[in-house]
Amino acid sequence: MNLFESPLIWEIGGWLAFLIVGGLFIRSDYRPNRSRRYQLGLLLSLLGLLVLKRALVLFINRELNPDESQLLSQAITLRHYPVYWKYVDGATMGPLSCYYVAIPGYFGIPLNYMVLRWVSFLCLGINIGSGYFTIENFFGSRAARLAMLPAVAFLGFTTNLDFLHATNEQLSLALIGLALWQYSRLWLQKYFDSSRNLFLLSFICSLVPFAKLQGTPTVLVIVAAALIGLLQRYSAMPRLLFWRSLSALFLGGLAFPALVVLLTLGFGVFDDFVHFYIVGNFAYSAGAGFWYYLLQFPAFVGRTTDFLVYLLPTFALLIGWLAFSRQTSGRKDRLLFIVALLASSGYAIIKPGNEFTHYLLYLVIPVTLLNAWLIDNFRKPAHTSLWVGFIILLIGFNRVSQTAAPSKNPLIVYQDPGRRQFYISPASQKTLEFAKRGEPLVVWGWAPQYNVETQMPQGVCDNHVIRCVMGGDQRIHRARYLRNIQNSRPPVFLDAVGPNSTWLNDRVRYGYETFPELKKYIDTHYRFVGEIDKTRVFARIDRYKH
């Protein structure tokens, strides 16, 4: 029997691994003072559980979320035209995330959904591993593995596709994890006077805004904590060493942004960088104010069952701490740091006002750090047994409820072996009759999957036209769109507004005809081929005749 095609065997295998990992964690507490190799083995068991539970998703070669097609279409474009903001504008996605996904393409590996999911999973592994080592530096290896257990269980057993797809947050989360690990090393070894280590910390932090601007508040907290650590050593440091260390902290944070500015000036896209990425994203909001979104946030989390289940162990620890411990002696600095991380990450999630479930991933490591701080108060082996048992029961109850309602478990659908094959839709097949892979393709609407299926780069910066049809900045976006298509002269133009387009389903309101200048250009230089699966296909006149 094929494991991929048997939901029962797949589920049993995952649960056996989960129970084994839980048993190892409990056993390790009854025999403390284990070797370093043994402690790393327990970490590997956690990562192994995550790999096992994610393996099914890693081998699916279909889109799970439109963000995946957006990332891939941008990476395919950068593979051919590597200047960001000239050929690609990822809107809220940072350039580093797109270049990162493009890396396999530079080695001749096809940029499909399976490849994307693997490179994204690598970031997830880095985030989990760096989170473990951060907690180990703050609280020791026992707290690290016990605090990471709910996170790995959540990320492994979740059936919410918003948590399972290759999100555009993953690279920024990996970088935040590395920054936290570096900060914890500075804290543990009292290296706040080390110029090299401070430079490295702020340099890693400076990469995050260019992977995903949304991660900026979190890394600002990390840099601020390092600055406070340095200032606390001011009186004990030679003045020259202090100023050298302070300079290293600031120079590390400025080095990469300065490089970006120089490159954008050199390639003539500085104004686009400032307007479309910095100004545009700071203004990015669903329309209401922050306090309104804050009041709505608990209801949003409550509707996200898997994440709510992930938070329940933290609530249990808080209740236990309030009832039996309340000790903070000697650990207030770490608690304040964790609370600041929670607040900054929460702000980054709430501020845009869009209830995109995958934004909640920014809270996973901060919540895990809070778990570690609380677990450090309960050090008896019996506490470990209760903790592990409680997590297993919670995950089990959640899985039973999902099994009783198959509609809540979309992974059952994706166990179809056909979904491990790369799919080319009829519209994409028709496109390839008039064009070839590597030539530009322009898609009006929000359907970048056509660029992925055809392996054709974008002929315009935007792989969705939300900003061309909504908001108050339409004129500027439309001008760039028209300028791009005139320069790229794509062999094929697709109007995907309809059921194949995310959000933009109403052709009367959003079809390409609603952009008069674009309609004039298409009518002049292209011929209508036909409507295939509710997508209109236009071929450039010379290709149409051919």
SS (H, E, C) 172-211: HHHHHHHHHHHHHHHHHHCCCCCHHHHHHHHHHHHHHHHH
Q: Compute the distance between CA of residue 439 and CA of residue 451 in angstroms, rounded to an integer.
A: 10
- Note the pLDDT of residue 331: 80
Please list the helix, strand and coil fractions of the chain in percent, rounded to the nearest 5, in that order: 70, 5, 25
In this predicted model, which residue has the larger pLDDT, 512 or 419? 512
3-class SS of residue 2: coil
158 DSSP 8-state letter = -
What's residue 280's pLDDT? 76
Contact 442, 34 (CB under 8 A): no
pLDDT of residue 415: 64
Question: Is residue 349 over pLDDT 80?
Answer: yes
Confidence of residue 487 (pLDDT cuts 50, 70, 90): very high
Tell me what pLDDT residue 411 has. 64
Q: Give the closest residue to 440 by CA, choosing from 69, 42, 11, 81.
A: 81
pLDDT exceeds 60 at position 1: no
Cα(263)–Cα(346) distance, rounded to whole angstroms? 32
**What's the rounded mean pLDDT across residues 317-325?**
88
Closest CA to 4 of 46, 60, 61: 60
Which of 95-104, 192-201, 294-303 has the highest average model confidence (pLDDT)?
95-104
**What percent of the chain lies above the pLDDT cut of 90?**
69
Question: For residues 26 and 545, what is the distance between their CA atoms, to the nearest angstrom?
Answer: 72
Grade residue 471 by pLDDT with cuts at 50, 70 and 90.
confident
- Looking at residue 290, its pLDDT comes to 82
Q: At 250, list the tokens.
A: 């600031």
Q: Is pLDDT at 507 greater than 80 in this prediction?
A: yes
Judged by DSSP in three states, 289 sits in coil
Residues 6+ apart with CB under 8 A from 546: 434
Any idea which residue has 């289940």 for tokens? 309
pLDDT, tens digit (0-9, with 9 covering 90-100), for 145-167 = 999 999 999 999 998 889 999 99
- Select from 453, 163, 217 the least CA-distant residue to 345: 217
Contact 503, 466 (CB under 8 A): yes
Res 463 pLDDT > 50: yes
**Over 90: is that where the pLDDT of 353 sits?**
no
Note the pTM of the prediction, 2 decimals.
0.94
pLDDT tens digits for range 364-409: 999 999 999 999 988 888 999 999 999 999 999 988 887 666 555 6
Question: What's the DSSP call for residue 277?
Answer: I
Share of residues in the chain with pLDDT > 70 (%): 94
In whole angstroms, how far apart are CA 200 and each of 18, 89, 196, 338, 487?
36, 28, 6, 21, 41
Q: What pLDDT was estimated at residue 405?
A: 60
Is the predicted pLDDT of residue 508 greater than 60, yes or no? Answer: yes
How far apart CA 468 and CA 475 sit, in angstroms, is 7
Beta-bridge partner residues of 538: 493, 528
The residue written with tokens 């699916």 in the block is: 60
For 448, counting Cβ atoms within 10 Å of its Cβ (0-12 exposed, 13-18 middle, 19+ buried), the class is: buried
Asked if residue 196 has pLDDT above 80, the reply is: yes
CA neighbours closer than 13 Å in the CB half-sphere of residue 259: 9
